[in-house]
């Protein structure tokens, strides 16, 4: 009898332990954990090797550069406490904050920064994004094996002072130091274990959150970093990011209450929410332009009037309203809205509408251009020209709309051809195309992030645009920190570019995302994915 | 038997070598490189650094020999797109997930498919036959992305304890296993129906019946055992297809399996990963075919794998 009694007691005890276990579970669920979807598996969580938003969204929460974006979306000092810029705008001296630490307890020093930037530039590292460090004197030469690491002009003068010398005055250099390729990595950790970024247990970072778990293709878990110097500003206890590629499934999960925020929202859903004026939907600004490359090596596309005719025949308002439907903005130039000029006015607004829809004028210009090339519309149609795009439902719909608009306004037939994006790149490279789809997302908040694309030597200049006048203006803008001079030159440059129309801008990207009503503090800086670092939840 | 298996293994190795060679030639003959991204072109000098890092600057013949050497050591190298994992790690971590779903799907298909087909044959041109055939037509003709989206929208989103997607517990596997199973289930039931009809008309069934054996015993012992052979013969390819995962099902349900890598690796021109998953699939296929042939012999003693018996 007593034995049975003992057994009963022990069962009860075990149950009690189990239930206490459960109740402590309940208290963890009261923690503020933001749940969302990262939509793609990161290729690497090493800042030097990261390539896109599916990596940077996590890195920006785990790391912090010399500068950073604050809870209002302003660029402020991050790891740096202060900075000084020399008269000539070439030398930057950063003083680091006191008490900044890595997640393993080491202090963050200027040596870490020097080490990290040189590491990202090292040819052996083969960082895809190394070119964003080329503003630093000697950086490009080191990356292309024409110089050594010692020639890169970034130097830790002591633990707290970092001196950087640039190739040329760069008005947006401070903002670049908030970009992920400029994030520091822990020198000691990287030297002793180069594979530290592959495993959460060896992952060392310096930002508001730390990496707790990385289940490949499944889930990434971040936890608040209590040692972060600005931890009082961070309201979340953690961020859980699913890695779920399918947009529709992700949307179902958001709707089912499994996510608090969703960035990659299916187009059909955006359209529906927009028409219902649903308060969950935010259409964030993004600095990106969707455009068509026109190959000037193919007659009659060498003629600017032909290119301008094609451009003027596009009814961009209809394309964004009826085709893309994600709240995009009809393009009026190559530089998207959101960038400020020297007076704090919007660059786009000040420069004005350089691209217009005008079917009559389009037809007139197009025919005139054709005649100058000794061609008729019939000759044109006999050539079998095609618009090349990489296979995707959305590119296809836009291409079909453009095809129809060209047919109606100009009476021309342009075929459509879709290929895999790698094949498209290959054909663009070899000049084997007439018109091809392209797009560009800016890296920093300065018109130069777009205008630089068509500088004659640019690696991204697909159409091989070459106008000495344009180059001279860009050179002028790159030679000074005087915003007045820079902006004037860039405004002039954009006008010249749109007069020559080597590319036909279609629309400016936007970034629609949905947020549950109880989530606050999500900010959208145009050059970033929505910033979730300072989010709060009042559920 | 041992001699037969040894022979098959040698043939298998030759097959894998052929697979490696063909894959190598094909993947290097399509335009593109592993480092291109959709959003951004890589400047030429940085591309050179990347090629050097992954040995792509070497002559193709040298790269080919290097692949062969590494594969002989079961080392598929580092993924060129995802530097956080090696190809071996990618396969080792994702395959168990896909295999689990695949095995569950195979079990569902094997339990219900032949049963459905047998019932259809026994009730030929009657109600149950029509119902079974409607199910198998749906199974064969509805594409998995339609079925998957349908299940998410109308089952997962409505039933609380069935998750919408993701991976972890048994309940996460329910819908994807079912979605994967429907196609082979339908195939099995159609095969079973036709072979069962054929077997039921054979003399030995009549003999068995006339001996007074119960209807149930006749069907189970004589009819089903013979009728199931065609299913066993396609089981090898079906099993190997299912255990390596499905691109569509894994994408829709957000499952961290291997299936998507067959497509993504090619799309990304991730050479090492393409080679890894292709060789791995070839290996699984060869293994499954061998097992099926052995199983065949066990089920049907008339079939001999070697000539020893004669």
Per-residue pLDDT reduced to its tens digit, B193-232: 999 898 888 888 888 888 888 888 888 878 888 888 888 8
Do A327 and A510 touch, CB atoms closer than 8 A? yes
HSE toward the beta carbon, residue A285, CA cutoff 13 A: 13
pLDDT, residue A204, reads 97
B271-282 average pLDDT score:
94
The verdict on a CB contact (< 8 Å) between B33 and A422 is yes
Centre a 10 Å sphere on the Cβ of residue B304 and count the other Cβ atoms it contains: 12
pLDDT higher than 70, residue A18:
no
In angstroms, rounded to a whole number, what is the distance separating the alpha carbons of residues A300 and A295? 9
A8: pLDDT strictly greater than 50: no
Residue A410, Cα to own-chain centre: how many angstroms?
36
Q: What is the mean pLDDT of residues A106-110?
A: 97
Q: Is the pLDDT of residue A105 over 70?
A: yes
A285 neighbors A346 (Cβ within 8 angstroms): no
- Interatomic CA distance for residues A196 and A51, integer angstroms: 18
A243, closest residue in chain B (CA to CA) = B254
Q: Is B41 on the interface with A (CB under 8 A)?
A: yes
Is the pLDDT confidence value at A2 over 70?
no
- pLDDT for A72 equals 94
Digit-coded pLDDT (tens) for A343-353: 999 999 999 99
Q: Residue A233: its pLDDT value, please?
A: 95
Between residues A206 and B227, the one the model is more confident about: A206
Given an 8 Å threshold on Cβ–Cβ distance, is B164 in contact with A425? no
Among the partner-chain residues A45, A252, A423, the one whose CB lies closest to the CB of B164 is A252
Query: Tell me, what's the pLDDT at A29?
Result: 54
Q: What is the pLDDT of residue A193?
A: 96
**Taking 90 as the threshold, does the pLDDT of residue A64 lie above it?**
yes
State the nearest Cα–Cα gap between B103 and chain A, in angstroms.
21
* The pLDDT of residue A265 is above 50: yes
Asked whether residue A189 carries a pLDDT value surpassing 80, the answer given is: yes
* Closest of A83, A162, A82, A77 to residue A116, by C-alpha: A162
**Closest to B71 (Cα-Cα) out of B84, B85, B87, B90:** B87
Which pLDDT band holds residue A17 (cuts at 50, 70, 90)? very low
Contact A94, A164 (CB under 8 A): yes
Cβ-Cβ contacts under 8 Å, A425 against chain B: 31-32, 36, 41
The pLDDT of residue A463 is 93
Mean pLDDT, to the nearest integer, of A454-459? 91
In angstroms, the CA A211 to CA A59 distance is 9
Lowest mean pLDDT among A127-136, A488-497, B297-306: B297-306
ipTM of predicted complex: 0.84
**A145 has pLDDT over 60:** yes
Q: How far is CA A424 from CA A70, A391, A432, A456, B239, in A?
A: 39, 9, 9, 21, 37
B304 pLDDT band, cuts 50/70/90, is low
Answer yes or no: is pLDDT of B87 > 50: yes
In angstroms, the CA B64 to CA A116 distance is 35
Q: What is the pLDDT of residues A269-297, one digit of tens each?
A: 999 999 999 999 999 999 999 999 999 99
* Residue A25 pLDDT grade (very low, low, confident, very high; cuts 50, 70, 90): very low
User: Per-residue pLDDT for A539 more than 80?
Assistant: no
Half-sphere exposure of A21 (CA within 13 A, CB side): 6
Reported in sequence order, the residue ranges of A186-246 that DSSP labels E, i.e. its strands, are 209-215, 219-224, 238-242
Kindly report the backbone phi and psi dihedral angles of residue A531, in degrees, each rounded to the nearest multiple of 5, phi listed first. -85, 120
Q: What is the pLDDT of residue B38?
A: 74
- Quote the minimal CA–CA distance from B37 to chain A in Å: 8
> What is the reported pLDDT for B310?
41
Residue A22 has pLDDT above 50, yes or no: no
Helix (H) or strand (E) holding A500: helix A483-500
pLDDT at position B309 over 90: no
Cβ–Cβ gap A258/B39 under 8 Å? no
Spatial separation of the C-alpha atoms in residues A311 and A355, rounded to whole Å: 7
Q: How far is CA A88 from the centre of its chain?
A: 30
pLDDT score of A27 more than 70: no
**Averaged over A451-461, what is the pLDDT?**
92
Q: Does B157 touch chain A (CB under 8 A)?
A: yes
SS (H, E, C) chain B: CHHHHHHHHHHHHHHHHHHHHHHHHHHHHCCCCCCCCCCCCCCHHHHHHHHHHCCCCCCHHHHHHHHHHHHHCCCCCECCCCCCCEHHHHHHHHHHHHHHHHHHHHHHHHHHHHHHHHHHHHCCCCHHHHHHHHHHHHHHHCCHHHHHHHHHHHHHCCCCCCCCCCCCCHHHHHHHHHHHHHHHHHHHHHHHHHHHHHHHCCHHHHHHHHCCCCHHHHHHHHHHHHHCHHHHHHHHHHHHHHHCCCHHHHHHCCCCCCHHHHHHHHHHCCHHHHHHHHHHHHHHHHHHHHHHHHHHHHHCCCCCCCHHHC
- B260 CB neighbours in chain A (<8 A) are 217, 245
The single-letter DSSP state of residue A73 is S
Average pLDDT over residues A152-173: 96
Q: Name the percent of chain A lying above pLDDT 70.
A: 95
Alpha-carbon gap, residue B289 to B280, rounded angstroms: 14
B160–chain A Cβ distance below 8 A for any pair: no
């Amino acid at each position: 009898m007593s034995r049975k009694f003992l057994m009963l007691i022990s069962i009860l005890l075990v149950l009690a332990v189990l239930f206490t276990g459960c109740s402590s579970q309940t208290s963890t669920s009261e923690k503020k954990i933001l749940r969302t979807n990262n939509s793609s598996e990161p290729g690497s969580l090493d800042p030097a090797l990261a390539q896109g938003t599916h990596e940077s969204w996590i890195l920006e929460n785990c790391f912090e550069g010399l500068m950073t974006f604050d809870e209002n979306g302003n660029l402020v000092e991050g790891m740096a406490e202060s900075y000084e810029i020399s008269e000539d705008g070439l030398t930057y001296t950063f003083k680091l904050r006191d008490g900044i630490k890595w997640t393993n307890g080491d202090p963050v020093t200027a040596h870490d920064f020097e080490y990290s930037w040189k590491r990202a530039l090292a040819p052996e590292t083969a960082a895809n994004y190394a070119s964003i460090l080329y503003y630093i004197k000697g950086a490009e030469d080191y990356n292309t094996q024409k110089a050594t690491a010692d020639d890169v002009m970034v130097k830790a003068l002591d633990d707290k002072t970092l001196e950087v010398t640039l190739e040329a005055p760069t008005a947006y250099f401070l903002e670049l130091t908030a970009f992920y390729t400029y994030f520091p990595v822990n020198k000691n950790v990287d030297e002793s274990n180069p594979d530290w970024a592959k495993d959460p247990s060896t992952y060392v970072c310096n930002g508001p959150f730390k990496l707790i778990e990385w289940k490949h293709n499944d889930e990434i878990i971040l936890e608040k970093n209590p040692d972060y110097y600005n931890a009082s500003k961070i309201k979340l206890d953690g961020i859980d990011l699913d890695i779920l590629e399918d947009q529709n499934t992700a949307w179902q999960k958001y709707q089912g209450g499994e996510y608090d925020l969703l960035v990659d929202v299916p187009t059909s859903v955006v359209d529906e929410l927009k028409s219902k004026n649903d308060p969950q939907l935010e259409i964030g600004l993004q600095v990106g332009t969707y455009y068509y490359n026109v190959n000037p090596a193919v007659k009659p596309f060498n003629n600017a009037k032909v290119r301008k005719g094609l451009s003027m025949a596009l009814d961009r308002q209809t394309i964004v309203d009826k085709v893309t439907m994600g709240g995009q903005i009809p393009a009026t130039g190559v530089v998207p809205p959101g960038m400020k000029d020297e007076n704090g006015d919007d660059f786009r607004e000040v420069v004005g509408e350089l691209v217009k829809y005008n079917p009559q004028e389009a037809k007139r210009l197009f025919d005139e251009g054709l005649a100058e090339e000794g061609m008729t519309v019939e000759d044109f149609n006999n050539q079998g020209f095609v618009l090349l795009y990489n296979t995707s439902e959305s590119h296809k719909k836009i291409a079909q709309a453009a095809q129809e608009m060209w047919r109606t306004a100009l009476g021309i037939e342009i075929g459509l051809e879709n290929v895999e994006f790698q094949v498209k790149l290959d054909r663009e490279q070899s000049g084997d195309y007439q018109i091809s789809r392209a797009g560009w997302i800016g890296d920093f908040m300065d018109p130069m992030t777009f205008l630089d694309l068509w500088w004659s030597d640019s690696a991204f200049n697909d159409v091989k645009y070459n106008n000495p006048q344009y180059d001279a203006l860009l050179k002028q803008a790159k030679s000074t920190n005087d915003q007045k001079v820079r902006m004037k030159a860039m405004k002039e440059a954009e006008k010249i570019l749109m007069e020559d129309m080597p590319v036909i801008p279609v629309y400016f990207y936007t970034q629609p995302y949905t947020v549950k009503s109880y989530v606050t503090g999500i900010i959208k800086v145009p050059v970033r994915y929505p910033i979730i670092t300072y989010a709060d939840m009042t559920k | 038997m041992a001699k037969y298996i040894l022979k098959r293994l040698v043939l298998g190795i030759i097959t894998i070598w052929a697979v490696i060679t063909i894959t190598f030639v094909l993947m290097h003959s399509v335009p593109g490189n592993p480092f291109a991204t959709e959003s951004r072109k890589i400047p030429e000098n940085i591309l050179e650094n990347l090629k050097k890092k992954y040995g792509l600057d070497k002559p193709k013949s040298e790269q080919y020999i290097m692949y062969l050497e590494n594969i002989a050591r079961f080392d598929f190298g580092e993924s060129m797109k995802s530097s956080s994992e090696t190809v071996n790690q990618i396969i080792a971590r994702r395959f168990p997930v896909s295999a689990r779903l695949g095995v569950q799907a195979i079990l569902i298909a094997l339990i219900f498919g032949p049963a459905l087909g047998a019932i259809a044959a026994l009730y030929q041109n009657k109600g149950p036959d029509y119902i079974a055939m409607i199910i198998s037509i749906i199974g064969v003709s509805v594409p998995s992305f339609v079925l998957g989206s349908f299940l998410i929208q109308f089952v997962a989103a409505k039933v609380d304890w069935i998750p919408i997607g993701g991976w972890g517990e048994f309940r996460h596997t329910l819908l994807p296993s079912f979605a994967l199973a429907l196609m082979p289930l339908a195939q099995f039931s159609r095969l079973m129906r036709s072979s069962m009809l054929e077997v039921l008309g054979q003399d030995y069934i009549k003999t068995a019946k006339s001996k007074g054996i119960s209807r149930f015993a006749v069907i189970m012992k004589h009819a089903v055992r013979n009728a199931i052979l065609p299913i066993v013969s396609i089981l090898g390819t079906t099993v190997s297809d299912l255990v390596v995962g499905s691109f569509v099902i894994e994408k829709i349900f957000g499952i961290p399996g291997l299936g998507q890598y067959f497509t993504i690796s090619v799309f990304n021109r991730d050479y090492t990963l393409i080679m890894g998953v292709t060789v791995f699939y070839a290996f699984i296929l060869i293994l499954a075919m061998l097992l099926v042939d052995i199983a065949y012999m066990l089920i049907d003693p008339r079939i001999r794998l070697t000539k020893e018996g004669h």
